[in-house]
Structure 1
Amino acid sequence: MVFIHSAPRAFRAHIEWAVGGVIGRALGLDWSDQPVQRGALRAEFSWSGAPGTGARLASALHAWDQMRFEVTEDATPSCDGHRWMFTPDQGMYTAQIDAGGNVVVSENRLRLALAEAVDQPHRLHERIEQLLGSSWDRELDVFRDAGEQGRVTWLHRVG
């Protein structure tokens, strides 16, 4: 899925062109007003493609640093799933996800968090929150809630 939580109106055609270039077909997204941010629009769509397409979509959307978005790529038998979140204030967050959409934190990243917090226990909580992308979720929740009535456009790519 791609969730464009907020984008300036002037970006609409550019976003559709860039995402269409990644997906391999022209897009005509169903945009709606984003009530949380005056003058902003929101859209969402489902996509399918080869592993790595999610990273290319996130990179294409990242070109406009005034928007908020999420991209998820489901796991396949040969590839882990991934999630990307972007906000103007925090930049890009990426994480591996499981089949249920939960963030997966590797053993090595947890060991590093423990080592960094060995003398400062309160840092462990901060590091785990950072590894889970909690601050991105908190910022995007306001925009997600505003779009609960949004429509989804399903995109399919064969071949």
Structure 2
Amino acid sequence: MQRRSTQGVVFVHACPKALCQHVGWALESVLGAPVSLSWADQPVAHGAYRAEIAWTGAPGTGAKLVAALKQWPMLRFEVTEEASHGNDGERMSYVPGRGVHRSPVSANGDLVISEQQLRHLAATATSVEAFRHGVDALLGSAWDADLEAYRYAGDATPATWLHQVV
């Protein structure tokens, strides 16, 4: 039997120093392989650190990584999973107080809103402004607004590759 695999990236945008090792352990528990994160100061949040790590694993690994990381509600992070045979790509973002936003992603990296989501929104929006607000919610605009400064602060950080034991 051939095993399917995909890949993605975990971006830990802000993590208190006391949790850095725990984050590594959580990623190891999902990936089944040792993890060595290169932590750097997060200039946007005093006392916080950031790291990113690329991974390979079975489809659905991204969601498992999110489940492992969201147990610490003070983290800010994103997990991407590329499309694989029979599976859409997706991006999952976590912001304290907002929880997780999860969206399918197209081959070029755009978030995808389905026909059914748009039809429902068009049928239920009571005004043009409500429709705009609904589209913003489907796109996760509030998560993006919160995370943008954290993303920018990490633009020059190198990525490390991890491979899940399959």
- For normalisation by structure 1, the TM-score amounts to 0.96
Contact 2:103/2:111 (8 A) holds in 1: yes
**2:141 pairs with 134, 139, 150, which one?**
134
Structure 1 runs not aligned, ≥5 long? none
Q: What is the aligned partner in structure 2 of residue 98 from structure 1?
A: 106
1:40 matched to 2:61? The reply is no
The C-alpha deviation readout for 1:117-145, integer Å capped at 9, x for no partner, is 1x312100000011011111111000011
Q: What is the aligned partner in structure 2 of residue 76 from structure 1?
A: 84
The C-alpha deviation readout for 1:32-82, integer Å capped at 9, x for no partner, is 010010110000010010001000001101111001000000001211111
**2:117 pairs with 89, 109, 127, which one?**
109
Deviation at 1:158, TM superposition (A): 5.7
Moved over 3 A (4+): none
Structure 2 runs not aligned, ≥5 long? 1-8
> 1-side partners of 2:70 and 2:114: how far apart?
25
SS in 2 for 1:104: coil
Q: How many pairs were matched up?
A: 158
Letter of the 1:156 partner, please give it.
H
- For normalisation by structure 2, the TM-score amounts to 0.92
> 1-side partners of 2:111 and 2:92: how far apart?
11
Q: What is the aligned partner in structure 1 of residue 33 from structure 2?
A: 25
Deviation at 1:148, TM superposition (A): 1.2
